[in-house]
Structure 1
Amino acid sequence: MKILVVGAGATGGYLGALLTRAGEDVTFLVRPARAAALRERGLRVVGREAGDEWAVEPRLVTADELTGPYDLVLLAVKASGFARAVEDLAPAVGPETAIVPLLNGLAHLDALNERFGPSVALGGVARVVTVLDGTGDIRRLAPLARLDIGEQDGTVSARAERIGAVLRGAGIDAPVSDRILTAMWHKWVFITTFGAVTGLMRGTVGDVYDTPGGPALGPAVLDEIAAVSAAAGHPLPESERAATLAVVAAPGSPMVPSLYHDLTAGRPTEVEHLFGDLADRARAYGLATPLLDLTTLHLRVHERRIAAKVQGAPDPDPPGRHWEARPDRQNTP
């Protein structure tokens, strides 16, 4: 099977490295800077224990070099790079190509259906515990490597079974699901609940939970977001609700999602793809989601500040600026 992995970051790089190590015909579509780094160091996977390290020599192409078609495209980019990646990978898509996107949420699936037709893309839910470190290596924080795949219409197709077999041959747990859209919705519920609790409060799960009033936040956010999933036809089972609350409402927990790291480091977030789209769907179903809406607004303000800095405008609330009460004005800087 001829495989194109779009992106060589923490998720796509790790899964692609496993496939390459297993002897599959894998090519990575990457930006020129990432290509240069990979040619110099190779694609390296580093575990938590000393000596737990291995590398592959990846086959690389940049967008101007790409020709096709490929049998399988694993689309592993962040939402901010999705639109460009879709145009870059277009030459790889032929009549028999299957695209498996690894993004969270559902807006990307709608966009792929519009661009390539509803029969090209499968649904996918990736679960890995990896990060890209400062050297460009992939750090594996836990052995989990799972990719659920399935046809959007719920059938268990021969192509999905073939893809699943190839993934499993590389050591990736790859069940073929007849309810992949439900799985995607439920991961979306988890990701946005986790992101809302920690991002809105700018603290770890434990920071929030251990503060007076904090224990109520996780369940309240989850109830709002799970209601949207249920309205879409994908109710959250009690077992998944309990598992989500075990993560997002836990005393003393140091856990935070990747969105929190992006937010506190002043980097862009996937606000529109994950939160804005979900809030729009809630409104379409006539649901009130005040906590989701507040989180979306909070993240949009963050994005606006980043955009202002890129354009050279001053930060509207720079560090060290204080507010004081004055008799002639209220909350005037």
Structure 2
Amino acid sequence: MNILVQGAGALGAYFGGRMLEAGVNVSFFVREKRAAQLEKEGLKLYSPEGNFERKDVMVFTSPEQVNNIDLVILAVKGYHLEQAIQQVQTIVQQTGVFVLPLLNGIEHLEKLQQAVGKEKVLGGFASIIATLDEHGHVKHTSGSGMIKFGALHLGQLEVCEKLEEINAQVKTNILREQEILKHMWNKYIFITAFSGITSATQLPVGFIASSEATFGVAKKVIFEMKNLAVKEGIAITDQEAERMAINLKKLHKDATSSMHQDMIKGLPLEVEHLQGGALRLAAKHDLAVPVIETLYGILKPYENGRPN
């Protein structure tokens, strides 16, 4: 199976590296600056799942260069989606490839389906706590990484079977799910609360878990998001939402969200694609989400990096 990972931030570089390590034919589509860094520094993973290094990786910087691939794994930040969609369109037109987006949120599915066709876009997401160091190497700090994926169209069953086979080979988790939309919503609910509260407090999760008042805010976000999911036709119960809240307390006390890590570095935030996306869905259903709205207001000034 030939896989193109579009985006080599911490997420794309990590899972692309793990597949390379397992002998999968993986290439990367990146911007010129990242391509130069990969050429100079190579691809390196520092991880509880095992370290890995590859000096030379196949890199593309123009969609016209791409050919002979079976799957694009779209691993860009939400604020790069509009640019990425144009590139994905060209790649799909040239190759007929399927697309597995690993973006946070849910709105990107419809945008991609409109751009390349419903039959081409799989459902999926990734879970990992990782960042890039000054050399562009991946620092993975959580215990285990995971991609979950699944078919949203009958025409995707064969490519899903091929991707599922890779799971037995890699030193991480690439798991196929039948109810992928519900799993995507579970991730969206959790990450909206986790990213919002760690970034708004500018603290790792241990401080949130130890303060009942602060934990209560995170829990309210989870239940507001659960209500949104139900409005969107996803059956998530109060008991499932309660378990998500409890899972926040089970994270390592020093764990924090990628949004908080980006805030610390002065980088752009995905606030518009997580909390902002939730507000747009809430408006569609005329549903009040006051805690999410408050977090959105707090984080919005940091959307394009540290305010000057």
1:197 equivalent to 2:200? Answer no
SS in 1 for 2:86: helix
Alignment of 1:1-333 (within 5 A): 1-47=1-47, 53-56=51-54, 57-63=56-62, 66-94=65-93, 96-153=96-153, 157-211=157-211, 213-237=213-237, 240-248=240-248, 253-303=253-303, 315=308
SS in 1 for 2:176: coil
Q: Which runs of 4+ in 1 moved over 6 A?
A: none
- After TM superposition, the score normalised by the length of structure 1 is 0.82
When Rg is computed on C-alpha atoms for both structures, the one with the higher figure is: 1
**1:123–1:150 contact (8 Å) kept in structure 2:** yes
Distance 1:89 1:223, change over 3 A: closer
Structure 2 runs not aligned, ≥5 long:
none
Amino acid at match of 1:74: I
SS in 2 for 1:271: coil
**1:3–1:74 contact (8 Å) kept in structure 2:** yes
Q: Whose RCO is larger (CA < 8 A, sep 6+)? A: 2
Deviation larger for 176-185 or 60-69:
60-69
2:3 and 2:252 map into 1 onto residues whose CA distance is 43
Question: 1:212: how far off?
Answer: 7.0
Give aligned-pair identity as a percent.
28
SS in 2 for 1:93: helix
Question: 1:120: how far off?
Answer: 0.4
1:133 and 1:117 map into 2 onto residues whose CA distance is 37
Distance 1:203 1:115, change over 3 A: same
- After TM superposition, the score normalised by the length of structure 2 is 0.88
Question: 1:11: how far off?
Answer: 1.2
Return the structure number with greater helix share. Answer: 2
Distance 1:169 1:253, change over 3 A: closer
**1:69–1:91 contact (8 Å) kept in structure 2:** no
**2:129–2:257 contact (8 Å) kept in structure 1:** no
Q: Cα RMSD between the aligned structures? A: 2.7
Match of 1:326 in 2: none
Question: 1:237: how far off?
Answer: 4.2
Question: 1:262: how far off?
Answer: 2.2
SS in 1 for 2:278: helix
**2:122–2:151 contact (8 Å) kept in structure 1:** yes
Question: 1:70: how far off?
Answer: 2.0
Amino acid at match of 1:70: I
2:201 and 2:143 map into 1 onto residues whose CA distance is 30
1:252 and 1:111 map into 2 onto residues whose CA distance is 35
Give a deviation string over 1:273-314, Cα, whole Å, max 9, x none: 1111111111212211111111112222333785xx6xxxxx
SS in 2 for 1:134: coil
